[in-house]
Amino acid sequence: MQLSLATAPIESGALVLPVLKQATDQATVASLTEPTGLPDSLLAQSFKAGLNETLPVLKTDGSAVYLLGLGDAPSVQDWLKAFRKFFFAWKTKLPGRVTVDLRQLPADVLTESALESIGLGIRLGGYDLRLYQTDRSETPVLYTNAGRLTVLIGADRQEWAQTILNRVEVLADTQLSLLDLMNAPANYKTPQTLADWTTESGRRHGYAVRVLDKAALEAEGLGALLSVSQGSEVPPVLIIADYVPTDGSDNNPTIGLVGKGVTFDTGGISIKTSTNMHLMKSDMGGAAAVLGAVAVAARLHLPVRVIGIVPATENSIDGRSTKPGDVITSYLGKTIEIIDTDAEGRVILADGLGYMIRNYQPDVLIDLATLTGSVITTLGYHAAGLFTPSDELAGQLTRSADATGERLWRLPIWDDYREDIKSDVADVKNFSGKPLAGAITAAKFLEVFTEKHPAWAHLDMAGTAFADSEFGTQKNATGYGIRLLTKFLLSKL
């Protein structure tokens, strides 16, 4: 699909008109009669502009008009989901030429966040989850290279809108690629698969990628990552993606991102129940967010250095698996008593964080992980947990989350919780053993391996990386975190 801007219709085909519910007064209804060809009375009766409400109108000349309801006051996520749902539902019926008319939306409604969400919704509406179906149908013509989608917007906002849509194209292309990676099962996705994706992306978009294989991990002493991988025949890797801006400035901030990359999680010796274990292919959502953010930064040529580190492994089970009670040594030299092998994400992040701190000294350090069921109990599926000792960083990340609709909610990280990770035999233990405050104690564990970095934040995205959507009948990947991190990086300019 080619996405372009215009101030007036330039091609025939289908027309999509988004309508605010609060705007369905007599004057607005009257303005819809010309494009739809329907009388005021019929329009007022058949279309109320509720969120996601759609009224298709087939005209006598063979063209089609679709009224898309937005509800009273659409949130950032409402914009995204309304357009994504519409285009997903109608993509096989839409022609190869579609126009979306935004000219009737007030400027204070059509904000930067709204337009970005509209663009992403349109592009993501073409996603196809049927990755391995043998009878997969052909791509709808709108979503082929021959497809043309034109966005109509006022002449005075063309430059503003073009900048946003250029960013949308990069975000959407990256996110769609990583949705495929996240939705792939473990037999199609290993730690090396993540490394290969990153290597190819770095080659195409001009950033450096280094991959430490098992021998290198052993040589450099990443014992925590190695301990989690012991039960798998698939070797672990540490992926390092380093985007350095080419503007020649020595004053660019350095942002360090660390993402959990467990390509499948059985729980190890502390094995999970079978219910929903098949969804543990999603346990690399943090890795996807980090790798996506580095790729987007490079493609947008942002004047910010971004380093992404992903410790990647399977957490499987056999006679070599790490056992509860074992004591392992991390990259930083700190020892960890393994209480629960299903608390493996924090263990591999310990080495990822330590490697970042010792080798790159970033100005800001952020880790992202599908880490705990506890955060889902606390926040459900609507927000990720935010943990940081820095009020300034908390504010920056929360503003970025609010602007993108990828919500964060700050939870405490007080030293009162440090008692829960004290070990009798090692420097720290990986699980408190208590059925409470699990997300907080996990964050306290990670804090140990930040070496008191003043601008560190942990994002527990267990409830937001996979979700119910129109794409399928089971939970599937959301791409959570890529847009949020991109907005945060833009805020550093």
231 and 150 inside one domain: no
pLDDT score of 28: 72
User: Strands 148-152 and 2-6, how do they pair?
Assistant: parallel
Does 300 score more than 80 pLDDT?
yes
State both tokens at 473: 């009948």
Please give the full DSSP string across 132-150, using - where no structure is assigned: T-TTPPPPPGGGSTT-EEE
Q: Is 156 annotated as a binding residue?
A: no
Tell me which residue of 368, 370, 344 sits closest to 466, measured CA to CA.
Answer: 370
Does 5 score more than 70 pLDDT?
yes
Q: What percent of the chain has pLDDT over 70?
A: 99
- Indicate if 305 belongs to the active site: no
| pLDDT class of 62 with cuts at 50, 70, 90 | confident
Rounded to the nearest integer, the mean pLDDT of the chain is: 96
pLDDT of 163-187, one tens digit each? 999 999 999 999 999 999 999 999 9
Average pLDDT of span 346-360: 98
CA distance 357 to 354: 5
338 and 238 inside one domain: yes
Q: Does residue 179 sit within a domain? A: no
Does 24 score more than 70 pLDDT?
no
154 and 195 inside one domain: no
| pLDDT class of 59 with cuts at 50, 70, 90 | confident
Does 82 score more than 70 pLDDT?
yes
Q: Does residue 130 sit within a domain? A: yes
Domain coverage including residue 478: 184-491
318 and 448 inside one domain: yes
Q: By the 8 A CB rule, do 54 and 69 touch? A: yes
111 and 200 inside one domain: no
Q: Does residue 142 sit within a domain? A: yes
pLDDT of 434-477, one tens digit each? 999 999 999 999 999 999 999 999 999 999 999 999 999 999 99
Whether the model clears a pTM of 0.85, i.e. scores above it, the answer is yes
Q: By the 8 A CB rule, do 426 and 335 touch? A: yes
Looking at 103, 157, 272, 410, which residue is catalytic?
Answer: 272
> Left, alpha or beta for 209 (phi > 0: left; psi -120 to 50: alpha)?
beta
229 and 156 inside one domain: no
113 and 252 inside one domain: no
| pLDDT class of 25 with cuts at 50, 70, 90 | low
Please give the full DSSP string across 329-388, using - where no structure is assigned: E-TTS-EEE-S-TT--HHHHHHHHHHHHHHHH--SEEEEEE---HHHHHHHTTS-EEEE-
Does 404 score more than 70 pLDDT?
yes
203 and 227 inside one domain: yes
165 and 197 inside one domain: no
pLDDT score of 120: 98
Tell me which residue of 311, 285, 81 sits closest to 181, measured CA to CA.
Answer: 285
- Residue that wins the pLDDT comparison between 202 and 246: 202
- Indicate if 346 belongs to the active site: yes
Given 136, 171, 206, the domain boundary residue is: 171
pLDDT score of 397: 98
409 and 447 inside one domain: yes
Q: Is 159 annotated as a binding residue?
A: no
Residue 125: give its domain's CATH number.
3.40.220.10
Q: Is 283 annotated as a binding residue?
A: yes
Strand partners, 387: 458
Residue 264: give its domain's CATH number.
3.40.630.10
Q: Does residue 177 sit within a domain? A: no
CA distance 77 to 80: 5
pLDDT score of 29: 78
Q: Is 344 annotated as a binding residue?
A: yes
146 and 189 inside one domain: no
Looking at 91, 97, 167, 346, which residue is catalytic?
Answer: 346
Q: Does residue 52 sit within a domain? A: yes
pLDDT of 476-486, one tens digit each? 999 999 999 99
Q: Does residue 239 sit within a domain? A: yes
C-alpha distances in Å from residue 112, one per residue of 116, 356, 483 = 6, 33, 13
Determine the Cα angle at 190 with ends 186 and 192, to 5°. Answer: 170
Q: Does residue 176 sit within a domain? A: no
pLDDT of 406-424, one tens digit each? 999 999 999 999 999 999 9
Q: Is 460 annotated as a binding residue?
A: no
Does 287 score more than 90 pLDDT?
yes
Does 307 score more than 80 pLDDT?
yes
Residues in the chain: 493
Greatest Cα pair distance in the chain? 80
Q: Does residue 47 sit within a domain? A: yes
Does 249 score more than 80 pLDDT?
no
120 and 268 inside one domain: no
Sign for the CA dihedral angle at 433, 436, 437, 439 comes to: positive
213 Cα distance to chain centroid: 26
Number of domains in the chain: 2
CA distance 292 to 274: 30
